[in-house]
Amino acid sequence: MKFHTRRPTALAAILLTASVALTACGDDGGDGGDSGSGGDGGGALSMTMLPKNLGNPYFDTSTKGAEKAAEELGAEIEEVGPEAASPDAQVSYINTVAQQGQDALILSANDPEALCDAIDEARSADVKVVTFDADTNPECRDLFVNQATAEGIAAKQLELISEQIGGEGEIAILSASANATNQNAWIEMMETELAENPDYANIELVDTVYGDDEDQKSFDQTEALLQNHPDLKGIISPTTVGIAAAARYLSDSDAKGKVALTGLGTPNQMREYVENGTVESFALWNPEDLGFLATYAAAALVNGDISGEEGDTFEAGDLGEFEVGADGVVLLGEPFTFNADNIGDFDF
Amino acid sequence: MSTHKPTAPARTYAAYSAPLWRRVLLTRETAVIALTAAVILYSIVNVPNFDGPLTLKFLLQDIAPILLIALPMTLVIITGEIDLSVASIMGLSSVLLGVLHENGMSVPAAALLALLAGLACGALNGFLIAYVGLPSLAVTIGTLALFRGIAVGLLGTKAVTDFTEKWSDVATGTIGDSRIPLVIIPFAVLAVAFVVLLHFSTFGRGVYDIGLNDEAAHFTGVDVARTKFILFVLSGVVSAFAGIYFTLRFGSARGDNATGYELQVIAAVLLGGVSIFGGRGRLHGVLAGVVLIGVISSALRLESVTVNVTNIIVGCLLVASVILPSVLASTSSRLPRKAATPPESRPTQNAASAGV
């Protein structure tokens, strides 16, 4: 009779345990056999793609390129990643890659320094590590596939604005936050180039403002720029949030068509403004090519075609041949210019 | 009066109590431990590479901050209070460690100041809750925002990453050649201390008394305010310690470090059998709860399941663990009870099963 006095928690205990035990037994016959094989068997290459975060159209596009390359190479690739772009969240995924014994890890690093310990551990488990889009310290990884050099980005933006304003007049820069590393490096290079290059002798940089990569603030800063500098001929916004907000302001203002706008933007954000004539052209790299190249580079490392030394060369499908530069950097090429003619081909 | 006396001792406390083996085995804690063991076994058999040499190390490193904070959090929740500011205290201690180290202070000195900051944060929470008498939910939601705000304000959007190699190695190292991370040593010491404090001390009895009925606890001589104050201070200090470990392990001090960890800690504590209404729960169940969540996340990551699915599974498990006992309670209350049990024995039974 004592059985009837069982307490609810006791019943819960039995039920919970039983249900798990049963499911465990039910699945036993599955794939238990191949645990630990880890892809060393000389079969297909196994690679993991770890972007800064998931659900980001930019990285969706680079993963698309990576998958295309993997298909050409007959490799297996899977994309994993955290919800938010923080370095500590990426560490777990890097650890997982080490546990799985994947052949290669292709990642965009959320921090140049913080990921190094985890990457070291993965590399000592024979994982080749290729960074793309955002690098870690050079000694941490095997290769970095650079989308564009700072010089290339700075030069491209000046070239575009100079073309659009006819080589003379006042220009201004609408940047991200005042301490954004990338943007500040580009701005510094543009300032030097403006001062030194005789082609730009008649172009004057009158102001640099910061929209903090917030849409509304960038919008307001654009309005302020136009009010403070009535003779302004062009704006360069080397940040995707800034250029889209500036374009939105310009397209509804009298300045549309009179003040040129260029910078770094994504086709999806800028499509409307290119089509309605607010923006003639803007630049960015093609993330699909970036993912594609990174995957080929990773495969070349795993197959032993290259070791990541300066001067090594490898083929990357349709993109042609690439050479490894100093510090294990592979450069995708010049920034890509988007304009009314080609913007329809892109979706990111 | 005198006629009643001989009948009263006829049934002693022990007579109402379940046999020892059932009190030990058929508990919520045992269920969680069994479930954890089952999930581990299942993963070893079915998840590729889960039996690999790196799994234990990474798993323990991942759950170490949660294991640490779960210790004081269990006591706080058993008193019927809650501390939502733990992750923000982690973030603040992380930033302090980074900022002080960047300005030339050695890691141990900066860590000590970060621990003191954690103590101060806990003391602020404790003072407002225990002595001013404000509800802990409101106070710690406020300080969650406050401490996080200070942390982000101190460091902005940048990160401090140049920590002395020696100390990052301590945070990521293992004990000798084993797979056990070094951080498990301070955790083991703290775990023993908290088990003694909660289960084998007068202070711990007071913690349960407060959770069951704080007014009654007050009248039986428990210093309710002091107990709560001490618990929040402990929670602050341990959270700061977890923040220091977190910073050194990832080698990165950022204002947004450990955002959202409070929910993982509270989820693990509730999964481990602690009642959110207070007065019920044991530490070994909580620790099993933390391990369970860690193993599930680790196994699912190895299976390349996205983090959203992991969250869904942990969420369902948590909801089930809260709902199931209530459902079973209502079912089993319809079952016939022990015939000999007189109605007035029920309060005694509830007290006995209260996990005290």
Write the ipTM. Answer: 0.77
Question: How many beta-carbon pairs under 8 angstroms link A with B?
Answer: 170
3-class secondary-structure state, position A284: strand
Q: In this complex, do B51 and A88 lie within 8 Å of one another by their Cβ atoms?
A: no
User: How sure is the predictor about B161, in pLDDT bands with cuts at 50, 70 and 90?
Assistant: confident
Residue B142 in this model has a pLDDT that exceeds 60:
yes
Q: What is the phi/psi pair of residue B260, to 5°? A: 90, -5
Residue A6 within any structural domain of the chain: no
- pLDDT at B326 (0 to 100): 77
B46 close contact with A: CB closer than 8 A: yes
Q: Which residues of B touch A55 (CB under 8 A)?
A: none
Same domain membership, residue A154 and residue A143: no
Residue B242 lies in a domain: yes
Q: Any idea which of A110-119, A185-194, B187-196 has the lowest mean pLDDT?
A: A110-119
How far is it, in rounded angstroms, from Cα B111 to Cα B121? 15
pLDDT in tens, A280-319: 999 998 889 999 999 999 999 999 999 988 999 999 998 9
Region B44-54: what's the mean pLDDT?
A: 89
Q: How far apart (Å, rounded) are the C-alpha atoms in residues A215 and B68?
A: 40
Q: Do A35 and B49 touch (CB under 8 A)?
A: yes
Comparing B258 with A88, which gets the higher pLDDT? Answer: B258
Beta strands across the sheet bearing A104-107:
A76-79, A46-50, A104-107, A128-132, A143-146, A329-331
**In chain B, % of residues over pLDDT 90:** 59
The answer to whether A13 contacts chain B (CB < 8 Å) is yes
Domain that holds residue B106: 23-330
| Cα distance between the two ends of chain A | 69
The answer to whether residue B240 sits within a structural domain is: yes
Other Cβ atoms less than 10 A from the Cβ of A142: the count is 23
Tell me, what's the pLDDT at A41?
Answer: 43
A203: β partners: A169
The single residue listed with the structure tokens 């209350």 is: B333
Give contacts of B 164-193 with A, CB under 8 A.
168, 172
- B window 19-38, beta carbon within 8 A of A: 22, 25-28, 30-31, 34-35, 38
DSSP B143-194: HHHHHHHHHHHHHTT--B----HHHHHHHH-BSTTSS-BTTHHHHHHHHHHH
Cβ–Cβ under 8 Å, residues B355 and B280: yes
pLDDT at B22: 75
Q: Do A100 and B50 touch (CB under 8 A)?
A: no
Q: Give the residue numbers spanning the domain of A112.
A: 46-147+287-332
How confident is the model at residue B12, as a pLDDT?
A: 67
Reading the block at residue A191, the tokens are 């300032």
Q: Stretch B59-69: mean pLDDT, rounded?
A: 95
Q: What is the CATH number of the domain that holds B181?
A: 1.10.3470
Residue A27 banded pLDDT, cuts 50, 70, 90: very low
Residues in chain A within 8 Å Cβ distance of B158: 179
Q: In this structure, is residue A35 part of a structural domain?
A: no
Which of A12, A16, A99 is nearest residue B55 as measured by Cβ atoms?
A: A99
Per the CB < 8 A criterion, the answer to whether A105 and A125 are in contact is no
- pLDDT surpassing 90 at residue B44: yes
A38 lies in some domain: no
Domain assignment present for residue A8? The answer is no
A137 interfacial to chain B (CB closer than 8 Å): no
- Average model confidence (pLDDT) for chain B? 87
For chain B, the domain total comes to 1
> Residue by residue, what is the 3-state secondary structure of A163-217?
HHHCCCEEEEEEECCCCCHHHHHHHHHHHHHHHHCHHHCCEEEEEEEECCCCHHH
Cβ pair A191, A205 in contact under 8 A: yes
A261 DSSP 8-state letter: E
Which tokens in the block code for residue B105?
A: 């202070």
Q: What integer pLDDT is reported at residue B335 of this predicted model?
A: 65
Please tell me which of the candidates B26, B46, B304 has its beta carbon nearest to residue A13: B26
**Is B80 part of any domain?**
yes
Under 8 Å between Cβ of A246 and A260: no
Structure tokens that stand for B291 in this block: 């391990």
More confident residue, A46 or B317: A46
More confident residue, A2 or B309: B309
Contact residues, chain B, for A28 at CB < 8 Å:
45-46
B7-35 pLDDT, tens digit each: 555 666 666 677 777 777 778 888 899 99
B266-275 in b/e burial notation, b at 16+ Cβ within 10 A?
bbbbbbbbbb
- Across-strand partners of A50? A107
Asked if residue B18 belongs to a domain, the reply is no
β-sheet bridge partners, residue A236: A173, A262
Chain A from 272 to 331: CB within 8 A of any B CB:
none
Is residue A183 within 8 Å of residue A238, measured between CB atoms? yes
For residue B331, list chain A residues with Cβ-Cβ distance below 8 A: 8, 11
Find chain A residues with C-beta within 8 A of B353's C-beta.
Answer: 7, 9
Q: Is A242 exposed, middle or buried (0-12, 13-18, 19+ CB in 10 A)?
A: buried
pLDDT at residue A21, as a whole number: 41
Which of A39-48, B298-307, B323-332 has the highest average model confidence (pLDDT)?
A: B298-307
**Which parts of chain B are beta strand (E)?**
none
pLDDT at residue A12 greater than cutoff 80: no
Q: Is there a contact between B280 and B274 (Cβ–Cβ < 8 Å)?
A: yes
Residues 150-209 of A with CB under 8 A from B: 177, 179
Are A183 and A266 in the same domain?
yes
Q: Which of residues 73-102 of B touch A (CB under 8 A)?
A: none
Higher pLDDT, A221 or B164: A221
B185 domain residue, yes or no: yes
Half-sphere exposure of A1 (CA within 13 A, CB side): 6
Assign A2 a pLDDT band (cuts: 50, 70, 90): very low
What mean pLDDT comes out for the span A50-68? 89
Task: Say if A86 falls within a structural domain.
Answer: yes
Q: Is A117 in contact with B251 (Cβ distance < 8 A)?
A: yes
Residues in Cβ contact with A77 at an 8 Å cutoff, skipping those fewer than 6 apart: A46, A47, A48, A49, A66, A67, A70, A295
Instruction: Provide the CATH number for the domain around residue A69.
Output: 3.40.50.2300
User: Is residue A73 within 8 Å of A299, Cβ to Cβ?
Assistant: yes
d(CA A334, CA A330) in angstroms, rounded, equals: 12
C-beta of residue A290 within 8 angstroms of C-beta of residue A297: no
CB contact under 8 A, A31 and B46: yes
* Alpha-carbon gap, residue B48 to A188, rounded angstroms: 50
The pLDDT value given to residue B15: 66
Residue position matching structure tokens 């001792």: B9
**Inside any domain, residue A171:** yes
A251 in the same domain as A304: no
pLDDT higher at A231 or B341: A231
**What pLDDT does residue B165 have?**
83
Classify residue B313: in a domain, yes or no.
yes
DSSP A104: E
Query: Which of the residues A2, A14, A20 would you substitute to probe the B interface, choosing the one with the greatest number of B C-beta atoms within 10 Å?
Result: A20
Q: State the first-to-last Cα distance of chain B, in angstroms, to the nearest integer.
A: 32
Across chain A, what does the average pLDDT equal?
85
Whether B197 maps to a domain, the answer reads: yes
**Number of separate domains in chain A:** 2
Predicted local distance difference test score (pLDDT) of residue A57: 81
Q: Which residues of B touch A96 (CB under 8 A)?
A: 58, 298, 301-302
In chain B, the percentage of residues whose pLDDT exceeds 70 is: 89
- Give the per-residue pLDDT at B319: 87
The pLDDT of residue B10 is: 62
Q: What is the structure's pLDDT at B246?
A: 94
How far apart are alpha carbons A185 and A189 in whole angstroms? 6
Question: Hey, are the CB atoms on A37 and B48 less than 8 Å from each other?
Answer: yes
pLDDT digits (tens, 9 = 90+) for A103-122: 999 999 888 888 888 999 99
| Predicted confidence (pLDDT) at residue A131 exceeds the cutoff of 90 | yes
pLDDT at residue B336 in the model: 58
For tokens 């490894």, what's the residue? A324
Is residue B32 assigned to a domain?
A: yes
Q: Any idea which residue has 């705000």 for tokens?
A: B149
- The answer to whether residues A218 and A238 touch, using CB atoms and an 8 Å cutoff, is no
Closest CA to B278 of B130, B79, B61: B79
What percent of chain A has a predicted confidence (pLDDT) above 90?
Answer: 60
Nearest CA-CA partner of A201 in A167, A246, A236, A157: A167
- Six-digit token string for A236: 């360069």
> Contact B38/A125, CB-based, under 8 Å?
no
Residue B340: CB partners within 8 Å, gap ≥ 6? none
What pLDDT is attached to residue A208? 93
Within a domain: residue A314? yes
What is the model's pLDDT at position B71? 97
Q: Which of A228, A254, A284 is the last residue of a domain?
A: A284
Q: Which residues of B touch A21 (CB under 8 A)?
A: 38
